[in-house]
A = this chain, B = another copy of it.
Amino acid sequence: MPTLGPKSNRLLAALSAVELKRLRSHLELVELPLGLAVYESGRVLEHLYFPVNSIVSLLYVMEDGASAEIAVVGNEGVVGISLFMGGESTPSRAVVQSAGQAYRLPARMMQVEFNRGGSLQHLLLRYTQSLITQMAQTAVCNRHHSVDQQLCRWLLLSLDRLSGTDLVMTQELIANMLGVRREGVTAAAGKLQKAGVINYRRGHISVLDRRKLEKLSCECYAVVRRECDRLSDYEGLARIFAKPSAR
C-alpha cells in the first residue's frame, strides 16, 4: 500500500498551504490497530488523530459495562476535539473500529495554531458542529428506531468512511456499538442477507445493494450525511474532494 499523504484526511487537505507547512513536520503517520483505545474516558489527551483510512468510534461505557457508540470518525474528521474545546478530557472512549492509519499531531502544536484563529480553527469548529449533529441524531435514533433501521444507518456511516463495499466487523462488535444484544444484530443482519442487501460471512460484510440499504435505514443517516456534507463544503475542500462516485 502506498503511503498516504496528509491530504488523505479531508480536514488537513483543506488547510491553507502556509498552515499545513507549519504543522507538517509535527504530523506523524501512525498505525491504528483494530480495538486500540485511542483515548480512555477522563484521560488527558496528548495528541489529535486525523484518520486517513481508519475509522474511530466514540463510545460511552456505563458503570455496569453497557456501552453505546455516540459518533464515528473517519477521514472527514479528527479525534480529540476536547483539546481545542478547552476541556482537555471527556467522559467518552475512542476505539479503533476499522484498522488503518492516522496522522497524529501533538496537542501543543495544534493549540498554538488554533489560537492564531486561522483556517485550522475554522475547520475544526465546523467539523465539531457536524460531530454534534451526529451525536444528537444518534440520541434520537436510539429513542425511536428499531435495531433493523439502526444497523442500516450504522453500515452506511461506516461505508462512507471506507473506500470499498466491504467491512471487517463481527456482529458482537456491531452490537457493542449499537448498544444492543448480539442476537439482535444477528436477526437484523439475517433479514438484510435474505433481502439480498448484504452478504455476511464470519466477520466480513459485503454490501451488495447500497440503495436498498439506504431505503431500509431510518432518516437519521440522511440527516447526518446531509449536515456533514454541508459543513465540509468549505472553499477548496469541495473542489479537491468532490468525487461523486465515492460519495
Number of this chain's copies in the complex: 2
Per-position binary interface string of chain A over residues 120-137, scored 1 when its CB falls under 8 Å from any chain B CB and 0 otherwise: 001001101111110111
Contact of A85 among B116, B125, B138, B246 (CB under 8 A): B125
Is A140 interfacial (CB 8 A cutoff)? yes
> Using Cβ atoms and an 8 Å threshold, which residues of chain B touch A247?
115-116
> Using Cβ atoms and an 8 Å threshold, which residues of chain B touch A136?
58, 60, 70-71, 91-92, 135
Asked whether, in the complex, the Cβ of B129 is within 8 Å of the Cβ of A85, the reply is yes
Least CB distance from A63 to B in Å reads 5
> Using Cβ atoms and an 8 Å threshold, which residues of chain B touch A144?
62, 66, 68, 179
Known pairs A86-B231, A87-B231, A91-B137. 16 more at Cβ < 8 A?
A60-B136, A60-B137, A68-B139, A81-B129, A85-B129, A85-B132, A87-B129, A90-B133, A90-B227, A91-B133, A91-B136, A112-B245, A116-B246, A132-B132, A135-B135, A139-B142
Is A166 interfacial (CB 8 A cutoff)? no
Is A219 interfacial (CB 8 A cutoff)? yes
Least CB distance from A214 to B in Å reads 15
Residue of B nearest to A226 (CB): B91
Asked whether, in the complex, the Cβ of A115 is within 8 Å of the Cβ of B246, the reply is yes
- Could you pull out 29 A-B pairs where Cβ atoms are within 8 angstroms? A58-B136, A60-B137, A62-B219, A68-B139, A68-B143, A68-B144, A70-B139, A81-B129, A81-B132, A85-B125, A85-B129, A85-B132, A86-B129, A87-B129, A87-B130, A87-B230, A90-B129, A90-B133, A91-B133, A92-B136, A111-B245, A115-B117, A116-B246, A138-B139, A139-B142, A142-B142, A142-B143, A143-B179, A144-B179
Per-position binary interface string of chain A over residues 39-53, scored 1 when its CB falls under 8 Å from any chain B CB and 0 otherwise: 000000000000000
Is A30 interfacial (CB 8 A cutoff)? no
**Bound complex: CA A20 to CA B187 (Å):** 58
Would A223 and B132 be within 8 Å (CB), given that A115-B247, A142-B142, A179-B140 are in contact? no
